[in-house]
Structure 1
Amino acid sequence: MNSPAEIPFRSFVQIDRQATLPIYLQIANQLIYAINLGKINPGVKLPGSRALGSLLEVHRNTITAVYDELYAQGWVEIKPNQGTFISAELPHQKGHKKLANAFPTNTGYPFRKSFLLESPFEQAHCAYQLTDGTPDIRLTQVDDLSRFYSANIKRKSNQSKMGYFQTDGSQYFKEQMKNYLHYSRGLQIDSKNILITRSTEMSLYIIAEILLEQGDTVVVSELSYFSANMIFQKSGSKIATVPLRADGLDLDALEELCKTQPIRMVYLTPQNHYPTTINHSPQKRMRLLQLASTYGFVLVEDDHEYDFQYDKQPSLPLISADKGGMVIYVSSFGKSLAPGFRTGFIVGPEDIMVEMRKHLGIIDRQGDILMEQALGEMIEEGAIHRHLKRSLKAYKQRRDHMALQLSLKLGHALDFQIPNGGLALWIRWKHPINLAKLAHLAKQRNLFIPKTLLYQTRDITAMRIGFGNLSLEEIDKTVDILQQSYEQLLLNQL
């Protein structure tokens, strides 16, 4: 409840001493308007006549006349020996429509609206939910995270790093990242080749800002990551697609496209392709580098799930074999941790890193130095490696269990390959069914399937379903609901 001292009367009471309307009525009318706007709440005590008169620079008798007018109209009540209060029940007078909380719903000026950036993400309050392959934060080693972060917040030497303009990030973290990427992904880089961002999407946005212009052509696979496509289209670029084969992009189709028009960029996820989970063969990776060199397009390699590999010797990133500076590598670090402890990063030649830091300085000038310091220590002390090793064991078990349950209960209806990495399965239904109706039936049974997981065209009926966020018991229930919903869908079609 407002107190008289908190109410900014001078901000909404403006007196025009040249007007013909008496001053006490000017003040009364403006107070009524302020009450309607919710600037003075019912039950609030108003200042005494002397105090308010002094504040508004009018005689106390003028304020007495104001209060009398408000009382006559029912806006205030006067309590003997207590003072004047806004009425608990405000009058409903003609011409005095209540305006409380009436903040404008529309601007008074035109602006551009982007239907392209309409969020495809949905939410529902269901007991079970499928994702496109997110980790399970229940597996996070909270004690480790809190210990490293707490130690850095308390460290006096870090206080000078808590200010703004820290866009170059923690040099210590970048040195640790350099070592981590060298040993885990074979990257022979310097810390100058690394840019730390908040997410993969921020990384792609910065890349698009620097490299793409209106009318440029960006090539993606026929099935591709929707957020990346939105970012590229928002830059004014045209999206061209090429078919996806069992071993990666159809590079013959890509080369034919290069021969007919200039290609500025090719975006791909060669390791655990999104959404199909396939891997590009070594031969296709080498040919991609050759095509980039021949036709001069930028290769943006999104390695979104490299840390989740169940084979002992996964393929190294494309950028590890890039000698011509044609690849920009995008990935994330700490994806197996709680969301607030993850970062995105970009790896590329030093000259473009310089330009990217300029753009990062505009959209994220304060950075998160303490988080980077903590993550750097987790790399150096081996905590990240230990956590990833433990979580990979759990994720592999969940992958195998999801595959087994799907085979037992829906093997007659769908096909899939067990991926050697990542946190999701790509399932294709053997016969066309209405996936939107399937999702609706599943939701009635307390399983939410976002529309971003559904891929339905004339030629394909498929889904990307994550297993990483589900326990073994949750996987059992999820597959049961899928089976029941599928069977009901078939019955409804009869």
Structure 2
Amino acid sequence: MSSPVEIPYKSFIQIVRDLETPIYMQVTHQLIQAIQRGYLPANTRLPGTRALSALLDLHRNTVVAAYEELLTQGWVEARPNKGTFVIGIPAGKGQKLSGLSGSVIPWSGYPQETGFTFQKTNLLDNPFEHSACTHVFNDGIPDIRLSHIDQHSRWYSAQLKRRSTKKMLGHYNQDGSEFFKKHLANYLNLSRGLHISRENLLITRSTEMSIYIASEILLNKGDIVLVGELSYFASNMIFQKSGAAIKTVSIDEEGIDVAAVKAMCEQYPVRMLYLTPHHHYPTTVTLSAQRRLALLELAKTYGFIILEDDYDYDFHYDKNPVLPLASADTHGMVIYVGSFGKSLAPGFRTGFIVAPQNLMVEMRKLLGIIDRQGDIVMEQALGEMIAEGEIHRYLKKSLKIYEQRRDDCAALLQQYLGGHIRFQKPSGGLAIWAEWAAPVNLSHVSKICARSDLFIPKTILYQNRNITAMRLGFGDLNATEMEKAIAILAKAVSDLAR
């Protein structure tokens, strides 16, 4: 066994004096690392406190404190009249120290790979892209510049100062704020024609989390889920990860094809139908009233679940929005998911699930495992925004801006690309579905635009043998930005046609 003087302690004990961590704890931590990695095998005798303090140029009391900490944690033992010895990793199991005297030991850092095998999947590969381009088209997100972050922050700060809120912070709150659920239930009843109480609500972090919880509770491996042939990619990823088999149903100018849904039910034991009826994703068409009633009847007849995702219900311009299927469901076949505060900054939004109480019991069990803490302060603040009417005032103001941006975007598309695309100005939402009159390689168009400082992510491009289309978000672009972006897109199309 190497004697203490042969081990190059200075090579793996590096003192940084301006750290907040006390020096004696720096010594302790680095000696523990050396033991864990086998640099100091079991039964190695450590130098005396005077010798190590002289070697490291430290006060002896610092080394004494480090040794006492090692003793307390059980890494070393003090043998009377013999010294301090390492306990732990047997000799030969760690890295050798021979030949390193006088040099710095090359710490390997955190392992780059696991030492075990595990199942890998590409189902959940991140589909989102990022770019440094000045101009960006997305699939329809609100403009954070309109979200009054300072004002919302004051609501949040006020909640933190309240004694009642502080009491809640001392407990786990997986069931969420009862105050928020009460006001959210009232808000959904008034705005969406629902007939729910707070017992029918589950508060989540996002719409995607809501879909995940519903999938985990309701789907088993091999269950058949119907989606539109063009559908939301994130929900499809979640269904596939749950082991479900996805089958697509055609869509048209009235939304999902109900006759095709019925044909699927006659052929397969369909477990769930996922749809976004208010504005179908990505085409933005609204499911007609007749089809809504027909789907509810089909769900009752064939026993499948309707998972209704109302991702942009708050954004409507031309008329009152069509009420969700959940408002007309009398047989408990619809699970309704959505996002509250979609027009606010992302950090101030929350997701929710509306379902019958017996299903809520199981969903709360799962939420208690994956999100036990909740976000009670944010929920209290959002509840107060509803109670004080702040959310209504904000939506009323922002909707006027988004409606004008929709009109500007439609006019600019017609001006710059009228001969290349066809589209319908949507009655709501924050995106326009634009189909190309003649096939064009959208991937090449995207690359050409990037060279002119316009980023078009692949998630808004839809191209196959039957369709060439883009979902162009207008919500976060003002008039100047929008014209610049559409001009770059039009030039890229023109360049590609040459």
- State the Cα deviation string for residues 375-403 of structure 1 (Å, max 9, x = none): 11111111100100111000000000000
Secondary structure class of the residue paired with 1:7? helix
- Once the two structures are overlaid, the 10-residue window that deviates more, 159-168 or 424-433, is 159-168
Contact 1:263 1:297 in 2 (8 A): yes
The counterpart of 1:104, out of the listed 97, 111, 116, is 111
The counterpart of 2:228, out of the listed 216, 221, 229, is 221
1:179 to 1:52, Cα distance in 2 relative to 1, 3 A:
closer
1:17 to 1:141, Cα distance in 2 relative to 1, 3 A:
closer
Report the Cα offset of residue 143 of structure 1.
Answer: 3.8
1:170 to 1:381, Cα distance in 2 relative to 1, 3 A:
same
Q: 1:63-462 alignment to 2 at 5 Å?
A: 73-75=101-103, 98-99=106-107, 102-462=109-469
Distance in structure 2 (CA, Å) of the matches to 1:388 and 1:50: 64
Contact 1:165 1:361 in 2 (8 A): no
- State the Cα deviation string for residues 205-244 of structure 1 (Å, max 9, x = none): 0000100001000000100000000000000000001100
Secondary structure class of the residue paired with 1:122? coil
1:13 to 1:367, Cα distance in 2 relative to 1, 3 A:
closer
Q: In the alignment, residue 451 of structure 1 is paired with which amino acid?
A: K
Contact 2:188 2:194 in 1 (8 A): yes
Report the Cα offset of residue 17 of structure 1.
Answer: 8.3
The yes-or-no answer on 1:11 pairing with 2:18 is no
Distance in structure 2 (CA, Å) of the matches to 1:413 and 1:171: 52
Distance in structure 2 (CA, Å) of the matches to 1:226 and 1:13: 47
Report the Cα offset of residue 179 of structure 1.
Answer: 1.1
1:73 to 1:481, Cα distance in 2 relative to 1, 3 A:
same
Contact 2:138 2:472 in 1 (8 A): yes
Report the Cα offset of residue 463 of structure 1.
Answer: 0.5
Report the Cα offset of residue 99 of structure 1.
Answer: 3.7
1:124 to 1:12, Cα distance in 2 relative to 1, 3 A:
closer
Distance in structure 2 (CA, Å) of the matches to 1:305 and 1:12: 52
1:382 to 1:2, Cα distance in 2 relative to 1, 3 A:
same
Distance in structure 2 (CA, Å) of the matches to 1:250 and 1:258: 13
- Tell me the equivalent position of 2:93: none
Q: Pairwise CA RMSD of aligned residues?
A: 2.7
Distance in structure 1 (CA, Å) of the matches to 2:43 and 2:391: 74
How many residue pairs are counted as aligned between the two chains?
A: 446
1:326 to 1:16, Cα distance in 2 relative to 1, 3 A:
closer
Secondary structure class of the residue paired with 2:331? coil
Contact 2:319 2:427 in 1 (8 A): no
Distance in structure 1 (CA, Å) of the matches to 2:43 and 2:160: 60
Distance in structure 1 (CA, Å) of the matches to 2:320 and 2:483: 31
The counterpart of 1:2, out of the listed 6, 12, 16, is 16
Distance in structure 2 (CA, Å) of the matches to 1:213 and 1:46: 64
Report the Cα offset of residue 2 of structure 1.
Answer: 2.5
Between the aligned residues of both structures, percent identity stands at: 51
- Once the two structures are overlaid, the 10-residue window that deviates more, 214-223 or 138-147, is 138-147
Distance in structure 2 (CA, Å) of the matches to 1:135 and 1:281: 26
- State the Cα deviation string for residues 468-493 of structure 1 (Å, max 9, x = none): 011111001000100111111112xx
Report the Cα offset of residue 144 of structure 1.
Answer: 2.9
1:50 to 1:487, Cα distance in 2 relative to 1, 3 A:
same
1:11 to 1:266, Cα distance in 2 relative to 1, 3 A:
same
Structure 1 residues without counterparts, runs of 5 or longer = 32-43, 64-68, 76-89, 91-95
Distance in structure 2 (CA, Å) of the matches to 1:2 and 1:367: 38
Q: In the alignment, residue 252 of structure 1 is paired with which amino acid?
A: A
What is the TM-score with the length of structure 2 in the denominator? 0.84
Q: In the alignment, residue 280 of structure 1 is paired with which amino acid?
A: L
Q: In the alignment, residue 222 of structure 1 is paired with which amino acid?
A: E
The yes-or-no answer on 1:464 pairing with 2:471 is yes
1:60 to 1:416, Cα distance in 2 relative to 1, 3 A:
farther
Secondary structure class of the residue paired with 2:248? strand
1:106 to 1:408, Cα distance in 2 relative to 1, 3 A:
same
Distance in structure 1 (CA, Å) of the matches to 2:343 and 2:46: 67
Contact 1:53 1:60 in 2 (8 A): no
Contact 1:50 1:60 in 2 (8 A): no
